[in-house]
Structure 1
């Protein structure tokens, strides 16, 4: 999986890169069809924000998290992304396993 990291008002250090890569390693094992993750780190006064966007089975999945500490925000966004991807996977399997329902007509009224 290719992870693109960009930052607004912050320099991306090697520690930040390693932290992001280690948190998303589990997701890449569970969802091998994901090829790229675009992550944007924004630093504001007393707030660290992280936004991650990816394409999964034809839909764009975007999650956001913010915290006072950057590494806590990274952990939050990793958990949110895993939940969002699981939800999307459930929608796809529900559509795949959906049974055809025959529309019912009111036979009682037609015979009387």
Structure 2
């Protein structure tokens, strides 16, 4: 997995970079086919914004979060990314095999 972290009007410190990497590892735990994630951390006056674009199996997904603290924005962003990845994983999952197994189990119970 490639991970890019950039800052707009902000110097990305080592602690911020490490924090983002920890959160990205959490995303990889749910879906290991994430190819590339690009995080952009931004500060506008009192508003801290974190946004990310990520690529999985030919799809591009985007999420952003705004908070008063950069770490809170990163947390909210990774929660959004996590929900999107789980939803994408459910869409790509083959449900027909599961339905067939349920029908077989139901037939066995009636016998």
Q: Which runs of 5+ in 2 are unaligned?
A: 97-111
In the alignment, which residue of structure 2 is the partner of 1:68? 68
Number of aligned positions between the proteins = 97
Q: Is the contact made by 2:7 and 2:42 (CA closer than 8 Å) also made in structure 1?
A: yes
Pick the structure with more helix per residue: 2
Is 1:19 matched with 2:19?
A: yes
Rg larger in 1 or in 2?
1
Q: Is the contact made by 2:31 and 2:89 (CA closer than 8 Å) also made in structure 1?
A: no
TM-score of the two chains, using structure 1 as the length reference = 0.80
Q: Which runs of 5+ in 1 are unaligned?
A: 99-112
Q: CA RMSD in A?
A: 1.5
TM-score of the two chains, using structure 2 as the length reference = 0.81
TM superposition outliers: structure 1 runs of 4+ over 3 Å: none
- Cα distance in 1 for residues equivalent to 2:58 and 2:41: 25
